[in-house]
Amino acid sequence: FVLNTFYCKCIVNIKKLKRESNIMRYSNLAGAEILEDYQTFAQMIKFRQTEAKKSVIIKISEVSHIEHLKQFCECYARIVNIFPYNTIDNNRFVLMECSSDKDVEALRKIAVCKASPEYAHCVTPFFLYKPRFKLHINQKTLNKDNYEYYSNFETPNLDEINQSLKKIESVSNQMMFLYNALRITELNIRLRFYTATQISYYLSQLFINLSVVPFGSSVNGFGQIGCDLDLLCKTNISSDDKSGWKKFLFMTQVIPLVDRNEQKHFLDVVGTIMRTCIPGITDVKKILEARVPIIKFRNLYTNMQCDLSSTNMTALHMSELLYLYGQLDRRVKPLVFTIRKWARNMNLTKENPGQWITNFSLTLLILFYLQTKDILPSLTSIKIFSDKSNTIDNFDWFLKWKNTVSSNDESLSKLLCEFFEYYSFFDFKTQGLCLRDGITKVKKDVSPLYIYNPFNPSLNVSKNVTISELLRLVEHFQRAFHIMVYSTEKDTLVKLINFDLNLTINNGFNNKNKSEFINEKFIPNVTDTNNLQKMEKNIIK
């Protein structure tokens, strides 16, 4: 539901505009943490989805219109929050939260339902706001500072980060700063759920048992500004079939799609519907031949780059597990954010997936390391300590678990240094990481990096990582460890996240050639470089 281009016109001469207490200002430092403190994953998702259903997005042309827009909308609905923002293509919007979905309905009624030619084939109508009032703006009395625009869609500039870090004395505090500066903001989280809810609304008009939910870094607590919005189609199969006659229409019921071909066909249809029917959706690309078929698109109004996949519930469970780990100890998120930032700046992770480690696999490396330090429990201990309901969505088990392990109170700085040390000397040649049991296990195949999928131990999460990429990763672990040991406290983090070509890496090459080194350190039972190249090709395949 979009109230488009607000030409706010009102005959009222506004004498004084005061800042309203219920218009919230958010900075990176404020945010979702208060909520996260007491919400389980399921509660958090439900809370955010409800919030999104009570919200509308309105396009405006001038910052000065916001106050009038608010006054106008208040004649029809109860407004709780207003968040103004700019998209990167410099369009101005307002995310308006009402007190209930009935208020949203009321606003919907005053909006004019107008199918513009570009949405002529809409399955549901596209709402445009019809200007009704002439607005007289008294520039003298208008206090534009009442409303700030937020454009938290781009990652903060590295120079600014460096300047700020230099002002902070300890590495641990610098890591906290980095976490607060990089994590997605409250507004951004709301826009992510709004985007999912909007697509869900449109698709459910055709596929009655379908909903679209966010997963991945948007919801697992490790999302950074600018991260993509991962969405998946969730099917709700209820025993009492309310679908009635609709069942006879083409694909009105969607069953969970296990078969990859079915997923491809389903996403093909969904991609076409989205391109043609859903307002604000652009750049739709169907990537159906990938291992996991997806639809890529951008939402112009919320400025979200989205990946929509089919009914893959494991990915959602994985998000829940990561969310839980992020909640269990206050050091987890700052550590993950710092290491992710470091890896991105070293070009170890990239925007697109490929032969290199992904943010997700890197996060699992960090979580596994924290398991070895008794800071996080293994998945098995979560199960043992959780109640018999077979769910991890319960904090009681955690208290029980906490009482059984030694309390580790190492500083963030020490954990960071030891993380780099741990993986600088890790036996990647024979060992894989098993987060399910919290221990290393012998690798099941020759993949250079082996991370057992916590929910399906027959799968390797990091199968895509090639030998040369793993080598690069280990080189950088060693370099980072070196920096952490030899730099002064204040310089450490700046040196870490800024690539310095002049810094030599003590990687063990000194006395050996590269292939000899790779064979010795990473490859089980490989003696010549031809084999090495063949193996790398196979892995890429």
The angle that helices 41-53 and 313-328 make with each other, rounded to 10 degrees, is 110
Closer Cβ to ligand CTP, 314 or 530, answer by number: 314
* Residue 319, binding choice from ligand CTP, Mg ion, none, Cβ under 5 to 8 Å by partner class: ligand CTP
Rounded to an integer, what distance in angstroms lies between the CA atom of residue 101 and that of residue 86? 25
The answer to whether 207 touches 200, Cβ cutoff 8 Å, is no
Cβ at position 86, least distance to ligand CTP in Å: 22
Residues 368-427 contacting ligand CTP, CB under 6 A: none
The residue length of the chain stands at: 541
Nearest distance in Å: CB 518, Mg ion: 30
Q: To the nearest whole angstrom, how small is the minimum distance from the Cβ of residue 307 to Mg ion?
A: 7
359 contact, one of ligand CTP, Mg ion, none, CB 5-8 Å limit per kind: ligand CTP
Give the strand pairing for 451-453 and 456-460: antiparallel
358 touches ligand CTP by CB under 6 A: yes
CA atoms within 13 A on the CB side of 70: 24
**Of residues 214-243, which lie at the interface with ligand CTP (CB under 6 A)?**
215-217, 220, 227-228, 230
Answer for which of 64, 200, 217, 349 binds Mg ion (CB under 5 A) is 217
Name which of 309 and 460 has its Cβ closer to Mg ion: 309
Write out the binding residues for Mg ion, residues 229-268 only, by CB under 5 A. Answer: 230
Instruction: Give the range of 31-39, 173-181, 352-360, 484-492 binding ligand CTP by CB under 6 A.
Output: 352-360
Binding mask 451-490 for ligand CTP (x = CB under 6 A): ----------x-----------------------------
For residue 213, give the DSSP letter: E
Using the rule CB under 6 A, give the single segment among 121-129, 191-199, 313-321, 481-489 that binds ligand CTP: 313-321
The residue from 359, 378, 466, 519 that contacts ligand CTP (CB under 6 A) is: 359
Does position 287 bind ligand CTP by CB under 6 A? no
Name the amino acid, one letter, at 2: V
Distance CA 351, CA 307 (A): 13
Q: How far is the CB of 230 from Mg ion (least distance, A)?
A: 4
Residues with Cβ within 8 Å of residue 373, at least 6 apart in sequence: 408, 410, 415, 418
Please give, one letter per residue, the 3-state secondary structure of 162-225.
HHHHHCCCCHHHHHHHHHHHHECCHHHHHHHHHHHHHHHHHHHCCCCCEEEEEEHHHCCCCCEC
Q: Which of Mg ion, ligand CTP, none interacts with 461 (beta carbon under 5 to 8 A by kind)?
A: ligand CTP
Which residue is nearest to ligand CTP, using beta carbons?
216
Cα separation, 122 vs 251, in Å, equals 18
According to CB under 6 A, which one of 266, 342, 360, 398 is a site residue for ligand CTP? 360
Binding segment toward ligand CTP, per CB under 6 A, in 55-63, 118-126, 356-364, 372-380: 356-364
**Dihedral angle of Cα 472, 478, 482, 483, to the nearest 10 degrees:** 40
Query: What residue 153 binds from ligand CTP, Mg ion, none (CB within 5 to 8 A, per partner kind)?
Result: none
Sign, Cα dihedral of 67, 68, 70, 75: positive
Asked if 56 is part of the footprint of ligand CTP (rule: CB under 6 A), the reply reads no
CB under 8 Å to 526, separation ≥6 — which residues? 446, 519, 532, 535
According to the binding rule CB under 6 A, does residue 318 interact with ligand CTP? Answer: yes
188 lines the binding site for ligand CTP (CB under 6 A): no
Which residues pair with residue 295 across a beta bridge? 286, 308
Stretch that binds ligand CTP, among 44-52, 166-174, 209-217, 241-249 (CB under 6 A): 209-217
Report the run of H or E that residue 21 belongs to, with start and end. none
User: Both tokens of residue 396?
Assistant: 């009681």
CB of 70 to Mg ion, least distance (A): 34
Q: How far apart are CA 481 and CA 477, in angstroms?
A: 6
Number of residues forming the site for ligand CTP (CB under 6 A): 15
Residue 458: both structure tokens together: 């027959």
CA distances from 77 to 97, 99, 100, 244 (A): 10, 8, 9, 35
Using the minimum distance from each CB to ligand CTP, give the nearer residue, 54 or 340: 340
CA distance 128 to 136: 22
Contact 66, 11 (CB under 8 A): no
Binding of ligand CTP by 315 (CB under 6 A): yes
CA dihedral over 497, 503, 506, 507, signed as positive or negative: positive
176, 284 in Cβ contact below 8 A?
A: no
Q: Which stretch binds ligand CTP (CB under 6 A): 212-220, 326-334, 370-378, 478-486?
A: 212-220
Size of the site for Mg ion (CB under 5 A): 4
Q: Are 65 and 44 in contact (CB under 8 A)?
A: no
Beta carbons of 355 and 465 less than 8 angstroms apart:
yes
| Residue 460 contact, options ligand CTP, Mg ion, none, Cβ 5-8 Å cut-off depending on partner type | none
At closest approach, how far in Å is the CB of 52 from ligand CTP?
19
Which partner, Mg ion, ligand CTP, none, binds residue 142 by CB below 5 to 8 Å per kind? none
d(CA 325, CA 18): 43
Provide, rounded to whole angstroms, the least separation between the CB of residue 412 and Mg ion: 24
- Whole-number minimum distance, CB 218 to Mg ion, in Å? 7
The residue ranges that bind ligand CTP (CB under 6 A) are: 215-217, 220, 227-228, 230, 314-315, 318-319, 358-360, 461
